[in-house]
Amino acid sequence: MPDITNTGFLTAISQQSAGVSIELDSVTKRYPGQPAPAVENFSMNIRPGELIIFVGPSGCGKTTTMKMINRIIEPTSGSIRIDGKDVLSLDPNQLRRHIGYVIQQIGLFPHRTIAENIGTVPKMLGWSKGKVAERVDELLRTVQLDPAVFANRYPRQLSGGQQQRAGVARALAANPPVMLMDEPFGATDPITREKLQAEFLRLQAELGKTIIFVTHDFEEAIRLGDRIAVMSERSQIEQFDTPANILAAPANEYVSSFIGQGAAIKRLTLIPVTEARLLPAAAEGTPSMPIDGSLRDALDLIVLTGSASINVVDPDGQPMGSLDHASISAVLGAGSLPVGGRP
């Protein structure tokens, strides 16, 4: 039975531009016949418009947790609230139409064209043909697939990266306030992946949705996340914090091992050059970088050019000052960069 109240609530949250909150409260999932729960006592509060990353090993319960949020599966115990409302009180089909879901392995319908794939949910929501077509066109452009080229193709006629763009477009179709993205860029090569990440960040800056994004790739987590949940077995949260805080102070050995080598270097990626104290501009001919770059870019340039210092220039190419190894190191705190044979 369609529930008028539920539909009203879901329509209302869909019209909120700033995303909605998601609260998980002691959520546990036991699959029948499994000795241990897949997800155990998982609690997390996600603020409206936050982009949360789940990272953790295969089998730790990331997909299960996402599927409980859109009620593809039901928790054994605990509760999940979207914008304060228990998801179990909402009609599951209606709920799913209001949560964008990009599944692992893309999951486009193989026998439907790209346009039909993207229009699936709007069509189910009863939009007119014209409105669906208009939306499909707009979304294809948003994910940078030319509608004239791609709308009438079938998924197999697209590359992995193009299919993933189409998958993201399909999840965005009904403008859902919540997006669940399960390794959405998993099947792409590093260059395509970087492009997709950049587009995705641009899109999110515009749309401000509440997003849970699963990845295996810690670099991707750092680049995209407002906060990262580092998970271990049975979805235990080892640390849940901003990328900068996790890199600066991993909670334990487990988190450190996830970060891998070069935590200091990764931190530099997050810090703009403007955070460093600039030295007077160096002589003409010194290698230079733009003022909107990161300290990682600065360090790369020093290493690649072998120059003792580099100039930072404004958009007109005028030197604003210079940086050397020590001034970069100083931003991280004394001794943070592996120089002079530190272990």
Interacting residue ranges for Mg ion, rule: CB under 5 A: 62-63
Cα angle 123-124-127, degrees, rounded to a multiple of 5: 45
Question: Which of Mg ion, ligand ADP, none sits in contact with 60, Cβ below 5 to 8 A by type?
Answer: ligand ADP
Nearer to Mg ion, 133 or 187 (CB): 187
Q: CB 62 → ligand ADP: shortest distance, Å?
A: 3
- Map residue 158 onto helix, strand or coil: coil
Question: Which of Mg ion, ligand ADP, none sits in contact with 61, Cβ below 5 to 8 A by type?
Answer: ligand ADP
The sheet carrying 319-324 orders its strands as: 288-290, 309-313, 319-324
Q: CB 56 → ligand ADP: shortest distance, Å?
A: 6
Q: Which residues contact 271 (CB under 8 A, 6 or more apart)?
A: 294, 295, 296, 331
Q: Which residues bind ligand ADP (CB under 6 A)?
A: 31, 34, 38, 56, 58-64
Nearer to ligand ADP, 6 or 235 (CB): 235
Nearer to Mg ion, 63 or 215 (CB): 63
Q: CB 77 → ligand ADP: shortest distance, Å?
A: 16
Question: Which of ligand ADP, Mg ion, none sits in contact with 59, Cβ below 5 to 8 A by type?
Answer: ligand ADP
Question: Which of Mg ion, ligand ADP, none sits in contact with 268, Cβ below 5 to 8 A by type?
Answer: none
Token pair recorded at residue 251: 């909670």
Count of residues in the chain: 343
Shortest-Cβ-distance residue relative to Mg ion:
63
Phi, then psi, of 43 in degrees rounded to 5: -130, 140
Nearer to Mg ion, 235 or 322 (CB): 235
Nearer to ligand ADP, 56 or 176 (CB): 56
* Strand boundaries in the chain, DSSP class E: 22-29, 39-46, 51-55, 77-82, 85-86, 99-102, 178-182, 210-215, 227-232, 236-241, 288-290, 309-313, 319-324
Question: Which of ligand ADP, Mg ion, none sits in contact with 34, Cβ below 5 to 8 A by type?
Answer: ligand ADP
Question: Which of ligand ADP, Mg ion, none sits in contact with 109, Cβ below 5 to 8 A by type?
Answer: none
Token pair recorded at residue 66: 């996402």
Nearer to ligand ADP, 142 or 232 (CB): 232
Token pair recorded at residue 298: 């600065």
Q: CB 159 → ligand ADP: shortest distance, Å?
A: 25
Q: CB 22 → ligand ADP: shortest distance, Å?
A: 17
Distance from chain centroid for Cα 142: 17
Helix axes 160-172, 190-207, angle to 10 degrees: 10
Q: CB 173 → ligand ADP: shortest distance, Å?
A: 24
Q: CB 298 → Mg ion: shortest distance, Å?
A: 37
Q: Which residues contact 275 (CB under 8 A, 6 or more apart)?
A: 295, 331
Nearer to ligand ADP, 55 or 310 (CB): 55
Phi, then psi, of 161 in degrees rounded to 5: -65, -40
